[in-house]
Amino acid sequence: FNIKGSLLNVHPFSIIIEKSLRDDEILQNLPVGTTATMYFRDLGPQLGWTIVFMAECIGPLLTYLLFYFRVPYIYSHKYGFTSSPHPVVRLACACHTFHYMKRLIETIFVHRFSHGTMPLGTMNCAYYWGFSAWLAYYINHPLYTPPCDKCLFLFQMCELGNFSIHLTLTNLRGEGSRSRRFPMPTKNPFTWLFVFVSCPNYTYEVYAVGYIININPFTAPKCLLALYTLLGFIQMTIWAKGKHRAYSREFKDYPNLRMAIIPLIL
């Protein structure tokens, strides 16, 4: 359980304004004058962000492999522990595994979270685990028919771009530093997308899913696979717009050209 504090600063001739406290703020260092009122709110069961990210990534990683290795009772018994004859299926498994392994490594070694915990009830495990199993079922199906086109190069570039953005965001604030800056393009070409959008890490991730859509077995219409991308895009757009608004409020010199997730559009 976690208790979240908020500060109500009282001045004799001013309007009272409530402000939530950050996790790293110390009470005796707050600029509150001689009189202040503290309010505390029980946020309920909490989990650390590192644990949340690991739970959301380990599930899809292991679930997909169950279908890839055709564990008995998933498909017909005669296909138990058999392998697909199509190279693109192995390639899809490699890309899917690489994606979630990358996210796990970033969670442990790269990400720095601005909040210590999140409410237990807001985890996205059902989305990640469920859609991973759904895609894996069709892609590794014994009656799978491989597509004619591949988007491996697009997938690789988007994964590299996503990783580059995460490194840039991590380097914005050194270990233990409290200074706040907004991200800017660096010498890395993948970060030049910061010229147009506030959250290019989400932009790259949405484009990377295009590879999954093009690995299209006949048993899974592309319109259904596109639903996976659409739902992910909607959620990432919500996160990106929230971050974009926060940047715009906090920094008076924030670039007006930037959008949230899609250059010049959204």
d(CA 220, CA 134): 10
Amino acid at 172: L
Query: Both tokens of residue 238?
Result: 């919500």
The yes-or-no verdict on residue 24 having pLDDT over 70 is no
For 54-87, how does the pLDDT look when each residue is reduced to its tens digit (9 = 90+)? 888 899 999 999 999 998 888 888 888 888 888 8
The yes-or-no verdict on residue 133 having pLDDT over 70 is yes
d(CA 93, CA 140): 9
176 vs 2, 168, 179, 247, CA distance in Å? 22, 17, 9, 21
The yes-or-no verdict on residue 241 having pLDDT over 90 is yes
The two most distant CA atoms of the chain are separated, in Å, by: 80
d(CA 203, CA 201): 5
In contact, 66 and 74? CB cutoff 8 Å: yes
d(CA 237, CA 233): 6
The yes-or-no verdict on residue 217 having pLDDT over 50 is no
Query: Both tokens of residue 53?
Result: 């990210």
Amino acid at 85: P
Measured in whole angstroms, the distance separating CA 96 from the mean position of its chain's CA atoms is: 15
- Domain ranges for the chain: 3-42, 47-250
pLDDT grade for 210, boundaries at 50, 70 and 90: low
DSSP state of 109: H
Query: Both tokens of residue 203?
Result: 């932009």
Rounded to two decimals, the pTM is 0.65
d(CA 236, CA 165): 15
